[in-house]
Amino acid sequence: MSELTHLDAKGQAHMVDVSAKSVTARTASASASITMQAATLKMIVEGRHAKGDVLATARIAGIQAAKRTPDLIPLCHPLMLSKVSVEFEPDTALPGIRVLVTCKLAGQTGVEMEALTGASVAALTLYDMCKAVDKTMLIGDIRVLTKQGGKSGDWVFDA
Amino acid sequence: MSELTHLDAKGQAHMVDVSAKSVTARTASASASITMQAATLKMIVEGRHAKGDVLATARIAGIQAAKRTPDLIPLCHPLMLSKVSVEFEPDTALPGIRVLVTCKLAGQTGVEMEALTGASVAALTLYDMCKAVDKTMLIGDIRVLTKQGGKSGDWVFDA
Amino acid sequence: MSELTHLDAKGQAHMVDVSAKSVTARTASASASITMQAATLKMIVEGRHAKGDVLATARIAGIQAAKRTPDLIPLCHPLMLSKVSVEFEPDTALPGIRVLVTCKLAGQTGVEMEALTGASVAALTLYDMCKAVDKTMLIGDIRVLTKQGGKSGDWVFDA
Amino acid sequence: MSELTHLDAKGQAHMVDVSAKSVTARTASASASITMQAATLKMIVEGRHAKGDVLATARIAGIQAAKRTPDLIPLCHPLMLSKVSVEFEPDTALPGIRVLVTCKLAGQTGVEMEALTGASVAALTLYDMCKAVDKTMLIGDIRVLTKQGGKSGDWVFDA
Amino acid sequence: MSELTHLDAKGQAHMVDVSAKSVTARTASASASITMQAATLKMIVEGRHAKGDVLATARIAGIQAAKRTPDLIPLCHPLMLSKVSVEFEPDTALPGIRVLVTCKLAGQTGVEMEALTGASVAALTLYDMCKAVDKTMLIGDIRVLTKQGGKSGDWVFDA
Amino acid sequence: MSELTHLDAKGQAHMVDVSAKSVTARTASASASITMQAATLKMIVEGRHAKGDVLATARIAGIQAAKRTPDLIPLCHPLMLSKVSVEFEPDTALPGIRVLVTCKLAGQTGVEMEALTGASVAALTLYDMCKAVDKTMLIGDIRVLTKQGGKSGDWVFDA
């Protein structure tokens, strides 16, 4: 196992120099889940208008947060995402909603932090919209699912 | 179970009117956890400098994110936090780090979204700093632990 | 007609001192409209999913922009909105969509800039989502419709 | 007429994938106008100091807003503007002020949203600075005037 | 000499709890200076248009930065400034420009950080606008000049 | 001495067109210093925890501010920093702390404003954390130390 790259030789945080890394196409996908009462899930899923606006609001929040990652995560490099998508999958077994975010760019650093941040904020937005009816929700399963591009090549989370 | 307050009668998202709510002292605490390999945890905990900077960086990111909650979560009201603290508890059983965020203000809305957002971003920052050495980390356990103040009174998460 | 209050005695821009103004309930509503081809309007209005997401996206953008007004309009005071709503009314006569934003707070300054900014950004977001199919859209009718509260009392735009 | 590109096959908003588009020089110009009482226009135009600061303030607000477009318009891609200019033309016939914004970059997406956002915010800033003396101002004529570069080539608004 | 209040008992940074402090009127003024070649100063001061725009641009940047202080300085509390002014005084003896920023609010914390941040960013903006013609400018004299209000009462810097 | 490039032919501020400039590797370093009482310096330097968190907090603030430069300095171009480092050097002779920030990117404009902004905000953050124990601190020595890359080539400040 190597060292923590975000600390310099003196153990101080810095934004690492990526200027020598090559620009390649990079994609990453990440997940999050929000567990809620079955009745809460039903409220989100049923009803045409409600569904549109609850999930659409969380989707926009996730896309915006992915773009704002370098402003939120101190040592992330600024980068220009060329694609962000946020998908929701209601899961009655959970019960709750699974969030899947995919980010893409041509750049010098990976985009897994952008995908993770988008998934987290999309889940937090669902929490916010449902908290008046359900006080015991739980957000979890925030992890990178796949990574493509860059020096380390393709990678798939093996649960 | 009542309705989703963030949707109006037509099912459209809006920022609800809180102007008639009384200004009271409100506190909320929220948790998050990040599970990692035992060796990764050891790298963070051991070594004077590293520990200072890894945890201090995540702490600052969490405090900043709590303040930026209304900018991230679309239907949150702007508010003026009077206190934010971010605590980390290394847990070798996990193995990983537990995050505890407490927010406080005198205002018309609760501060649980601020505490949840702070905890999430602190955990994401830890992820970012360790991802070069550990690709299988998982963030979870994001939940509200306690709430005080407001119409609904005190509340403690009962696991 | 009095002077431009945002300029001091030397003609220099400043953020005027409102500390002596009383805190009162204040509401403002503002409009915007976006004129488009009839076929474009039809694409937005028809279809369950599309309608949900096009208008929901613009609604969230408008709410977020209203909150961010002091960051966009240099001499606006920071303030804490207690309510924001964004309504859309498709108008086949235009043809296009009318936007109506209402903002509310208890504070020392009016909220018409917040309502105007929310309406403008909601309309710009509609423009962005339709620009691939319609290059000749036009945004206009951005004006304050009503104001309540504050020293100058209630006011209604008299066209 | 084709489909709304900002919606995926399921009608959900997403930030479209532009990674396969070529990087070309792109320019766009957009307009806005603010109609006011003749006396208000006179106050802005006359007087050395006032003119400098009213128009300079609005110019800076417009430039800043153009840069912040991806943060305001949810599905806009982040991009790096290489030029922004904001021009004002007092028009006694209106009476009021015409705003012209030009943006430029080498990139994978057009910059008309940046020009439109800059023009809108510059006009809103003029509104803010004059609203104490003129309650019936109106912002309109927000449209793209010209576009150059990209797959669709040069384009000029034909009124 | 007491302790560093921004560190808790374990030496960890936190945003201190101000909820028990009383809301009082608070004012602070701060200075900065930028030293430049005499010829650079002459370019700024002479010429009607240039002067307007160089100083007006820096003034707006300073006002905006003062409002954004809690977003820039990690442990600053969010607050709602009720007044910000930025003054420039060309000084041929320096040679250069002196910056004076005054901030005011009714709140639970002092506003000296807002005044200092506004003065710093106004000076940095002057630097940016002149750096093509003068590579050896120096920014200094950033200090609090006066403070009024709050528990510690009035205070004047005694050089 | 040439003209102020940030003003156009009419003396109006604009964001200059850099699209014709070549993309080259660019580095800049800048300094700041904060002068304080010897006892204040001792409080920062001594003690394991305190040192970690005071300096780590200021380091993160400086890195974040460098990334946010185009949002703070109106006429700065957006750019994507590939490296930022913030170093602190306690100086008992001052007495106080010297700040050194280095920024790097491959781009069309220099990065000295990013280095200067990072150094200024790091120093302001130190000020904020110590102001409760020391009211007479002074920030100064904000200057560019070295520049590399770009048309004008390498440059070193010659005091």
The residues of D that are catalytic are 128
Q: Which residue has the higher pLDDT, D45 or C96?
A: C96
Q: Which chain C residues are closer than 8 Å to B6 by Cβ?
A: none
Looking up tokens 């940047």, which residue turns up?
Answer: E61
Is residue B149 pLDDT above 60, yes or no? Answer: yes
| Least confident window among A145-154, E34-43, F98-107 | A145-154
> Mean pLDDT throughout B108-133?
95
Q: How do the pLDDT tens digits run along chain D, 159 residues long? A: 457 888 888 878 899 999 888 888 999 999 999 999 999 999 888 754 455 588 999 999 999 999 999 999 999 999 999 999 999 999 999 999 999 999 999 888 899 999 999 999 999 999 999 998 898 999 999 999 999 987 777 888 875
Mind listing the pLDDT tens digit for each residue in F136-148? 999 999 999 999 9
Q: Which residue has the higher pLDDT, E154 or A28?
A: A28
| Least confident window among A72-81, B130-139, C46-55, E139-148 | C46-55
The 8-class DSSP code of residue C95 comes to T
Is residue F152 pLDDT above 80, yes or no? Answer: no
Is the CB of D61 less than 8 angstroms away from the CB of C76?
no
A17 carries an active-site annotation: no
Confidence of residue F48 (pLDDT cuts 50, 70, 90): very low
Average pLDDT for chain B: 90
Q: How many CA atoms lie within 13 A of A86 on its CB side?
A: 35
Cα C47 to Cα C42, C98, D10, D130, E48: the distances in Å are 9, 19, 11, 43, 57
pLDDT at position F134 is 93
Residue B156 at interface with chain E, using a CB cutoff of 8 Å: no
D partners (3+ CB pairs within 8 A) are A, C, E, F
Closest chain D C-alpha to A11 CA, distance in angstroms: 33
Q: Which residue has the higher pLDDT, F19 or B144?
A: B144
Distance in Å from the first CA to the final CA of chain E: 20
Q: Which chain F residues are closer than 8 Å to B64 by Cβ?
A: 64
As a whole-number percent, the residues of chain C with pLDDT over 70 amount to 94
pLDDT at position C45 is 84
Is residue F41 pLDDT above 90, yes or no? Answer: yes
Please give the structure tokens belonging to residue D50: 């006032």
Residue F68 at interface with chain D, using a CB cutoff of 8 Å: no
Residue B38 at interface with chain A, using a CB cutoff of 8 Å: no
Residue D3 at interface with chain A, using a CB cutoff of 8 Å: no
pLDDT at position A49 is 44
Is residue B113 pLDDT above 70, yes or no? Answer: yes
Rounded Cα–Cα distance for residues B37 and B95 (Å): 7
Return the bridge partners of A100, or none. A31, A87
pLDDT at position E27 is 96
Is the CB of A74 less than 8 angstroms away from the CB of F83?
no
Confidence of residue F159 (pLDDT cuts 50, 70, 90): low
pLDDT at position A157 is 82
Q: Which chain C residues are closer than 8 Å to B77 by Cβ?
A: 80-82
ipTM: 0.95
Q: State residue E72 phi and psi, 5-degree precision.
A: -100, -40
A partners (3+ CB pairs within 8 A) are B, C, D, F
The residue of chain D nearest to residue F19, with distances taken between CA atoms, is D82
Closest chain B C-alpha to C75 CA, distance in angstroms: 19
Q: Which chain F residues are closer than 8 Å to A22 by Cβ?
A: none
Residue B81 at interface with chain E, using a CB cutoff of 8 Å: yes
Angle at A110 between CA F116 and CA B55, to 5 degrees: 60
Is the CB of F121 less than 8 angstroms away from the CB of E40?
no
Please give the structure tokens belonging to residue B25: 């002292």
Is residue C74 pLDDT above 50, yes or no? Answer: yes
The residues of B that are catalytic are 128
pLDDT at position B73 is 97
Return the bridge partners of B37, or none. none
Closest chain A C-alpha to F68 CA, distance in angstroms: 8
Is residue F125 pLDDT above 70, yes or no? Answer: yes
> How many residues are listed for chain D in this entry?
159
Its pTM stands at 0.95
Rg (CA), chain A: 17
Closest CA to E31 of E89, E109, E95: E89
Closest chain F C-alpha to A83 CA, distance in angstroms: 18
pLDDT at position B8 is 84
The residue of chain A nearest to residue D71, with distances taken between CA atoms, is A64
As a whole-number percent, the residues of chain E with pLDDT over 90 amount to 65
Is residue B78 pLDDT above 90, yes or no? Answer: yes
Average pLDDT for chain A: 90
On whether the CB atoms of residues C107 and C150 are closer than 8 A, the answer is: no
- Catalytic residue, chosen from A128, A134, A141, A154, is A128
Closest chain B C-alpha to E5 CA, distance in angstroms: 13
The residue of chain E nearest to residue C7, with distances taken between CA atoms, is E85
The 8-class DSSP code of residue D76 comes to P
On whether the CB atoms of residues E129 and E56 are closer than 8 A, the answer is: no
- Catalytic residue, chosen from C128, C134, C141, C158, is C128
Quick one: angle between helices A48-67 and A112-130, nearest 10? 140
Residue C106 C-alpha from the chain's centroid: 18
On whether the CB atoms of residues D122 and D58 are closer than 8 A, the answer is: yes
Mind listing the pLDDT tens digit for each residue in A12-70? 889 999 988 888 899 999 999 999 999 999 988 875 445 558 899 999 999 999 999 99
Mind listing the pLDDT tens digit for each residue in C101-127? 999 998 888 999 999 999 999 999 999
Residue D155 at interface with chain C, using a CB cutoff of 8 Å: yes
Is the CB of E141 less than 8 angstroms away from the CB of F136?
no
Distance in Å from the first CA to the final CA of chain A: 20
As a whole-number percent, the residues of chain C with pLDDT over 90 amount to 65
The 8-class DSSP code of residue A96 comes to E
Is the CB of D61 less than 8 angstroms away from the CB of C73?
yes
pLDDT at position A139 is 98
Q: Which chain C residues are closer than 8 Å to D50 by Cβ?
A: 4, 7, 11
Nearest CB to C52 within list A56, A61, A64: A56
The residue of chain B nearest to residue C83, with distances taken between CA atoms, is B17
| Least confident window among E118-122, F31-35, F111-115, F151-155 | F151-155
pLDDT at position E96 is 97
Is residue C93 pLDDT above 80, yes or no? Answer: yes
Please give the structure tokens belonging to residue A42: 């039903």
Closest chain D C-alpha to C72 CA, distance in angstroms: 7
pLDDT at position A47 is 56
> Mean pLDDT throughout E25-49?
88
**CB atoms < 10 A from the CB of C40, how many?**
24
Q: Which chain D residues are closer than 8 Å to E126 by Cβ?
A: none
Average pLDDT for chain C: 90
Is the CB of C19 less than 8 angstroms away from the CB of E80?
no
Cα B19 to Cα A27, A39, B15, C79, D101: the distances in Å are 44, 29, 11, 13, 39
Closest chain D C-alpha to F114 CA, distance in angstroms: 15
Nearest CB to D70 within list A56, A67, A85: A67
> Mean pLDDT throughout C147-156?
85
pLDDT at position C158 is 73
Nearest CB to E52 within list D56, D61, D64: D56
Is the CB of C104 less than 8 angstroms away from the CB of B17?
yes
Q: Which chain D residues are closer than 8 Å to C1 by Cβ?
A: 39-40, 43, 133-134
Residue F68 at interface with chain B, using a CB cutoff of 8 Å: no
Residue D47 at interface with chain E, using a CB cutoff of 8 Å: no
Is residue C78 pLDDT above 60, yes or no? Answer: yes
Q: Which chain C residues are closer than 8 Å to B82 by Cβ?
A: none
Confidence of residue B120 (pLDDT cuts 50, 70, 90): very high
- Catalytic residue, chosen from E17, E128, E134, E154, is E128
Is the CB of C61 less than 8 angstroms away from the CB of A60?
yes
pLDDT at position E108 is 87
